[in-house]
Each structure stands twice: as structure tokens, then as C-alpha cells.
Amino acid sequence: MNHRLDYYTYNPCSDQSSPWLHVTAILTAACTFVLIFIGGLVTSNHAGMSVPDWPNSYGYNMFLFPPSKWVGGILFEHTHRLMGTVVGFFATMLTLMAWAPAKTRTGRRWIAGAFMALTLSNAVGTAMMAIWPAHFHLSASANQPLHILSQGAVTEIGMVLCAIAAFVCRSPEPRRWVRWVATACLIVICIQGLLGGLRVDLINLTLAMVHGCFAQASFCLIIFTAIVTGRWWKSVPDLSKTPDPKQGRWLIRLAILSVCIVYCQLIVGAVMRHLGAGLAIPDLPFAYGKLIPPTNASQLADANHFRIWKLDMDPVTLTQIWLHFAHRIGAVVVSFALITLIIVIFSQNRDRKGLVWPARLLAFLLVAQVTLGILTVYLRKPADIASSHVAVGALVLAMTFTIAVRSMRLYSLRHRQVARADLNAMSRPLASAGV
């Protein structure tokens, strides 16, 4: 007997995807947030080049680098790298769970074949490192047979974990576009890791700024994956035909605009940090006692004289001062946009499903972010507070992005086609089973 599947009323039977996909997406997002915070610590402590080689760490395999050497800036940079591998692992698991390569016998054979080929390649590579260690730029302490064998063992353990996960994943996500979103998460994480490695190998500050900005975009993509794999996305009603459709379209536009404003503010903040302009204006709310910061060489000379003799701080350039000032102006614009967005959400007496709690959390995060920004200036940029400012900024972007995505899910007319495609994708397994 066939039962009618109502897309807008959640039916557990219609959800053929594994609940672990959603859990893995949340874990990936959580680890990415921790990675962003540690990245803020790296920048705040000027530790970006504390480990000058990549992907090794002073000639050691990243996972075999002795903890006794984790001192000073090396601690922050090396921990950042290790956390990056954790995020990469979860992104790999996310992709495997979405596609479920072991769902067929042919897929399992391919997994076994790939694992054996990679194992053989690892054995050959380990042997080559043991025979010609000089060609692999190993340090004297890392150039030991036992250490080289340990490197091969670590690589093999990683491949075994991935192979086991691939064999376990046999329940694919029925929505094809969601599978590709999960794959995109893995791709952007790989690109992010490559950008970080090239920043070290090429000693390029521009790549460091791109690395920081791309991390925020990657975080949003992972947040999106967590949203679309959750229960809310599948059970929420379609409100595109409400009595006042303009209200929904206005909310969507405002939310998207807010996301763009917050992201631009984070870009300015990343450039400001990497160019050493975090304290280019040391007083607040004024700028060297005036509403407008220095605009010419004479005013800059007076400002630097004040910094050197009164505050015992290094001199700055006009570019640094105005970059810092732009970040302050951006903070005002962001606050206005987000307060407006929050008011619009709370002013709607109906059709607010799934938007109220993100708006409440966004209000709290906005207050916390402004507070951290003020403390960063008043306390002369302590590393922990400055890094928390970076991390909370990422959360502000993520929550604003969540509101935008959920608003489109509720009110977008175009989403109806996606909704019907999702219904068909989730109902096909039931039809084949004769439900």
C-alpha cells in the first residue's frame, strides 16, 4: 500500500539518510570553529612562521614532532596544523557518509583496491626515505630509521581509518545536491590547507590574509551542510504563499545583505591584523583625541610622537591608521544591520519558525563582539582577547548566515522546486521497497 508523503509535515519514513551525517556535519563545524580560534592565536602571537617548513615540522612528520619542542610560537602554529588535520578528517568522513561508497559490492571492491594500492605506495615511499633520507630534507634528529618507519606507520594508520569508514558508510544521502555540498566541504578544506602550507613555504603575507578570509567562507559552507542535513530543514513548512509575501522577501534581502556586510568586516579585520594595524588608533571612541584620524604627514608625525613618547608604542603609517578606522566604521555598520535584522525577526508575530532562537543568539554574540573589540583596544590587544574577538566574529557570521539560509528556506519561491526534488529523492527508496 502506498502512503502519500507530505513534504511539509515531517515523516520519519521519508528520511532515508543516516542521522550520523548531520552529527558529523556539526562536529566538522565545531572543529572548524576551534581551528579559527587557534588561527587567531597564531596571528595574535605573531607565530605564523614559527614552524618554517610544511608539511613537515622541522623535518619531522607532523604527528611525530616531539612535544618537548612545542614552545613559544611553535606551540600555537603546530597546534593549528594538527587541528587542521582533525577538520580534514571530519570533512572526509562527511563526504564518505554522504556518498556511501560501500553501498554496492563494486564500490567495496574499489575501496579495497585503492587501499592496497595506497599501502604499497606508502611502503615504497618509506623505503625510499630510509635509503635516501637527504632527498627528503629531514633534520638530523628526524633522519633515523626508527623515525622514518614511524612516519610510514602514521600514514598507514590514517589510510586504515579512512578505509574502515568507507566500508562502514552504506546508507547514502538521497538528495544528490546535498551529497555535492558535502563534497564541496572537503574540497574547500583541502584548498584551505594548501593555502596555509603555501603561506609558509612561500613566506607570503598576502596568502596569509587570503587564508584567513577563506576560512570564514569555508565555515559558512560547513554550517550550511549542518543545516540542510538536520531535521528542521526537512520538516519546516513552506511560507512563500503567506498573506504578505513581501515581508518574507524583505527578510531574505536584509539577511543576505547582513551576511555580506559582516563578511566584508571580517575581511577588513583580517587585513588589519596581518598588517599590524590592530592598535593603529590606541584610543576609543576618539582617534588621537579627535573624531577623524590623521589625514596628512604633519598630523601623522604628531600621532607617532604621541605613540612613541607617551604610550611607548611603535610608529604607524596612514594606511594602518585608516585601515583601523575603517574597521571601526564597519563595526558601526554591522551593528546597525544586525540590530535591524533582529528587530525585523522579532516584530513578526507569525511565521517565525526557526528564526527566533538564531536571532536571540545573534544579539548576544553582537554584544560580546563589540565588548571584545573595545577591550582589545583598551587593554592593548592581549592575545587571548584578540583571538576571542576573531572567534566570536566567525560565530556572528555563521549565525547571520544561518538566519539567511533559513529565511530562504521558509519564504523563497524558488525553493519550492528544490523541495519537490528533495521529496522525490527521499520517496524513491520507499517506492522501491513497496511502502
Instruction: State the Cα–Cα distance between residues 21 and 94, nearest whole angstrom.
Output: 6
CA pseudo-torsion sign 373, 400, 182, 232: positive
CB neighbour list of residue 79: distance below 8 Å, 6 or more residues apart: 38, 70
User: How would you label 366-392 residue by residue, b for 16+ Cβ within 10 Å and e otherwise?
Assistant: beebbebbebbbeeebebebbbbbbbb
pLDDT of residue 188: 96
Residue type, 404: A
Give 110's contacts (C-beta < 8 A, 6+ positions apart).
Answer: 101
The single residue listed with the C-alpha cell 590574509 is 209
Q: What is the largest CA-CA distance in the chain?
A: 85
pLDDT on residue 248: 79
Residue in 362, 422, 433 with CA at minimum distance from that of residue 393? 362
Cell of 100: 556511501
Q: Which residues of the chain have pLDDT under 70?
A: 1-18, 130-147, 240-245, 349-353, 413-435
**Long-range CB contacts (< 8 A, 24+ apart) of 121-127?**
122/152, 122/155, 122/156, 122/159, 123/152, 125/152, 126/151, 126/152, 126/155
The per-residue pLDDT for 42 is 92
